[in-house]
A and B are shown apart, each in its own frame.
Chain A
Amino acid sequence: MKKIIRINMSKDVPEVVEEAMGRYEGLGGRGLTSGIVSSEVEPLCHPLGEENKFVIAPGLLGGTASAMSGRLSVGCKSPLTGGIKESNAGGQPGQALARLGIGAVVIEGKPRGGDLYKIEVSKSGVRVVKDNSLKMLTNYELIERLRKDYGDKIAVMSVGPAGEMRLSGASVACTDMELRPTRHCGRGGVGAVMGSKGVKAIIIDESETKALEPRDPEGFRDANRRFVLGLQRHPVTGQGLPAYGTNVLTNIINEVGAYPTYNFREGQFAGARRISGEVEAEIEKERGGNPTHGCHRGCVIRCSGIYHDKDGHYLTKQPEYETVWAFGGNCGIDDLDKIAMMDFLCDDIGLDTIEMGVAIGVLMEAGLIKWGDADSAISLLKEIRVGNPMGRIIGNGAEYTGRAFGVDKVPVVKGQGLPAYDPRAVQGIGVTYATSPMGADHTAGYSIATNVLKSGGFVDPLKPEGQIELSRSLQIATAFIDSTGMCLFVAMAMMDQPETYQALLDLINSFYGWNMKESDVVEYGKRILKMERDFNIRAGFTSKKDRLPMFFYKDPLPPHNKVFMVKDEDLDKVFDW
């Protein structure tokens, strides 16, 4: 039986209560965070106020022996978008929490003074401990401290200085297999909400936990075997992602003219090859890093890696595609070492790399620093750590930065910076950016798979036809996968191999004793999207929020010279099912 742990930070001594899953039974990951936020959080509350809740939930298969099941979701009302937010990450905490039988941790209220707390979670229970000595430590500094105090059989979720300052670009860090704070729930300022609760770190004791027992162990083992085989057999999950990581996308997105360059002015970047996944993997091999590495135990795809500096010392985990783009082509920077340094700084200070890259692009648009000026970009990130006014402006994201410097070309939807695909050259992703309850988020309905990568068929990226249906079905499927604890990349194999899809259903069914079918998956996904949309409507969102910024409809993007052509009335039909 899983349980929900509620921690009330408003009490003089924070109060911990355990309760049954109750009405949330059957939900996990995003389904659970969005379920709790949509039914318990007042939609009109201030995201940093005591009425907001910070919810952490491993997925349905978290804590089991199944491959790929360690992703964890955090949810809250977002300070960046003003709507509901779910942000997920890999790393060890998801498995660790789930193995302790925890379905969700809900942090509520807000401490009155300025004290900082850490939360210890172990087999013997949950303890909230005041520890002001952790104030303003960066994530890497914090982990070194915790390693000394607790040993290395722990998994940690934490906020850096950005979260403590409650900046809207702040992330929540999750430690990886090497106990480094490299995997981030990045989007939507979730770190600011954790920081607003006065919580610096959640330290989970992994030492005495073991995998959860399925209802039907035999069936579960068999399903897991088929699932892993399917992932290994598929060329993308079996070869492409392990060899080059997600940054293998740089070249293809650039070749099809959809690589947002110089703050979405152009669709191709002359320096793309130099920062591509192919080059990155070579550098990692040459310098003794590692191009094929998993972000958590149980990952068989291993899209991540380890990036060393010129002297062969650890610099950061392998910067992934979105990060390389945000600080790379988006800012006109073609130096992977500098980009890797920015990746490290974001992990250390606790920031979303996409939001920071887009914010710096906006600053370049304003003419404050020059396109391609990597050293100034690095200095700006360091200013966030110090917390001076300039740093705080950027740390609050692209929209805030645009307002501070009077820029009218700001690529955001619902206040959240656009990721690494231009919606004028891949119209399907524009539908997802515009309509996802999360704000501009590529993962919410990854049309690139079908618009460009030929997974699950092909829909012409340059035409408006077929994009609504594509984005709709992907958004529904993604809401489900984000609830299972599975890494979204399993979808690449599932879209092409029905038997791998079935294996995932069999994993869930044999674990819970359910009888879930494909049609139930669709209902599950729709139910989550409906809860999220409903929250946003109650928070004051109208269909006008489901639009791209005006310039995407007006300024043609070279080389294809297209604008975004999906009609508003069609965007409004995405959730009419």
Chain B
Amino acid sequence: MRIKVKLFGGLKLPFKHQENVGEYWITLEKDYTIENLINLLSLSGKPLIIVVNGFICNDLQKKLEDGDFVSLFPPIAGG
């Protein structure tokens, strides 16, 4: 399945990606959870806020589905 990963707030992949815009399509095996995905990415920082298809996700064991959009953020704030 294909998942779109979007990285924000300074989160980066460990290698320089050619389309360095913070948005990547990733192909995964079936039965991948959010936690598996985060481990796979080995990002520069630990994501705290996870948004899947526009919904805040608090369950790291949630199974991903083909075509999901996953947005990852470190701890951030403002106002």
Q: Which residues of B contact A248 (CB under 8 A)?
A: 8-9, 76-78
Answer yes or no: A226 CB below 8 A from chain B CBs.
Answer: no
Stretch with Cβ within 8 A of B (4 or more), from A54-62, A238-246, A465-473: A238-246
A257 smallest CB distance to B (angstroms): 5
Nearest A residue to B6 via CB reads A255
Answer yes or no: A449 CB below 8 A from chain B CBs.
Answer: yes
A255 and B75 within 8 A (CB): no
Answer yes or no: A256 CB below 8 A from chain B CBs.
Answer: yes
B49 and A252 within 8 A (CB): yes
Q: Which residues of B contact A492 (CB under 8 A)?
A: 77
A455 and B77 within 8 A (CB): yes
User: What sequence of 0s and 1s flags, for each residue 53-79 of chain B, a beta carbon within 8 Å of any chain A beta carbon?
Assistant: 011101000000000000101111111
A240 and B49 within 8 A (CB): no
B48 and A454 within 8 A (CB): yes
B48 smallest CB distance to A (angstroms): 6
A229 smallest CB distance to B (angstroms): 17
Answer yes or no: B51 CB below 8 A from chain A CBs.
Answer: yes
Whether A442 touches B74, Cβ cut-off 8 Å, given contacts A255-B51, A458-B58, is no
Residue among B6, B55, B74 making CB contact with A240, cutoff 8 Å = B74
B64 smallest CB distance to A (angstroms): 16
Nearest A residue to B9 via CB reads A248
Answer yes or no: A96 CB below 8 A from chain B CBs.
Answer: no
A256 and B48 within 8 A (CB): no
A241 and B54 within 8 A (CB): no
Residue among B6, B22, B78 making CB contact with A303, cutoff 8 Å = B78
Answer yes or no: A100 CB below 8 A from chain B CBs.
Answer: no
B65 smallest CB distance to A (angstroms): 17
Nearest A residue to B69 via CB reads A255
Q: Which residues of B contact A247 (CB under 8 A)?
A: 78
A241 and B58 within 8 A (CB): no
Complex Cα distance, B58 from A276, in Å, reads 24
B73 and A252 within 8 A (CB): yes
B6 and A236 within 8 A (CB): no
Complex Cα distance, B78 from A237, in Å, reads 10
Answer yes or no: A145 CB below 8 A from chain B CBs.
Answer: no
Answer yes or no: A117 CB below 8 A from chain B CBs.
Answer: no
B79 and A243 within 8 A (CB): no
A321 and B79 within 8 A (CB): yes
Nearest A residue to B75 via CB reads A235
Total A-B contacts with CB atoms under 8 angstroms apart: 95
B69 smallest CB distance to A (angstroms): 9
Q: Which residues of B contact A251 (CB under 8 A)?
A: 8-9, 71, 73
Answer yes or no: A448 CB below 8 A from chain B CBs.
Answer: yes
Answer yes or no: A94 CB below 8 A from chain B CBs.
Answer: no
Complex Cα distance, B56 from A276, in Å, reads 20
B10 and A278 within 8 A (CB): yes
- Residues facing A in B1-29 (CB within 8 A) are 6, 8-10, 21-22
Complex Cα distance, B58 from A458, in Å, reads 9
Complex Cα distance, B78 from A443, in Å, reads 10
B78 and A241 within 8 A (CB): yes
Q: Which residues of B contact A462 (CB under 8 A)?
A: 55
Complex Cα distance, B56 from A560, in Å, reads 12
A461 and B79 within 8 A (CB): no
B79 and A244 within 8 A (CB): no
B77 and A240 within 8 A (CB): yes
Answer yes or no: A553 CB below 8 A from chain B CBs.
Answer: no
B51 and A236 within 8 A (CB): no
A489 and B51 within 8 A (CB): no
Answer yes or no: A380 CB below 8 A from chain B CBs.
Answer: no
B47 smallest CB distance to A (angstroms): 11
B10 and A252 within 8 A (CB): no
Q: Which of B51, B55, B79 has the most CB of A within 10 A?
A: B79
Whether A249 touches B78, Cβ cut-off 8 Å, given contacts A278-B8, A278-B10, A454-B49, is yes
Q: Which residues of B contact A489 (CB under 8 A)?
A: 77, 79
Q: Which residues of B contact A249 (CB under 8 A)?
A: 76-79
Nearest A residue to B48 via CB reads A454
B76 and A453 within 8 A (CB): yes
Q: Which residues of B contact A455 (CB under 8 A)?
A: 77
Answer yes or no: A44 CB below 8 A from chain B CBs.
Answer: no
Complex Cα distance, B71 from A276, in Å, reads 15
Nearest B residue to A303 via CB reads B78
Whether A559 touches B75, Cβ cut-off 8 Å, given contacts A243-B10, A252-B8, is no
Residue among B21, B73, B79 making CB contact with A442, cutoff 8 Å = B79
Q: Which residues of B contact A235 (CB under 8 A)?
A: 48, 74-75
Complex Cα distance, B74 from A460, in Å, reads 19
Q: Which residues of A contact B22 (CB under 8 A)?
A: 273, 278
Answer yes or no: A452 CB below 8 A from chain B CBs.
Answer: yes
B79 smallest CB distance to A (angstroms): 5
B10 smallest CB distance to A (angstroms): 6
A398 smallest CB distance to B (angstroms): 20
Answer yes or no: A488 CB below 8 A from chain B CBs.
Answer: yes
Complex Cα distance, B51 from A241, in Å, reads 20
Q: Which residues of B contact A461 (CB under 8 A)?
A: 56
A-B contact pairs, 28 of them (CB 8 A): A235-B48, A239-B75, A240-B74, A240-B77, A241-B77, A241-B78, A244-B9, A244-B76, A246-B77, A248-B8, A248-B78, A249-B77, A249-B78, A251-B9, A255-B51, A255-B54, A256-B54, A273-B21, A278-B8, A278-B10, A321-B78, A442-B79, A448-B79, A453-B49, A454-B49, A460-B56, A462-B55, A560-B54
Given contacts A255-B8, A278-B8, 7 further A-B contacts (CB under 8 A): A241-B77, A245-B78, A248-B9, A256-B56, A277-B78, A454-B48, A461-B56
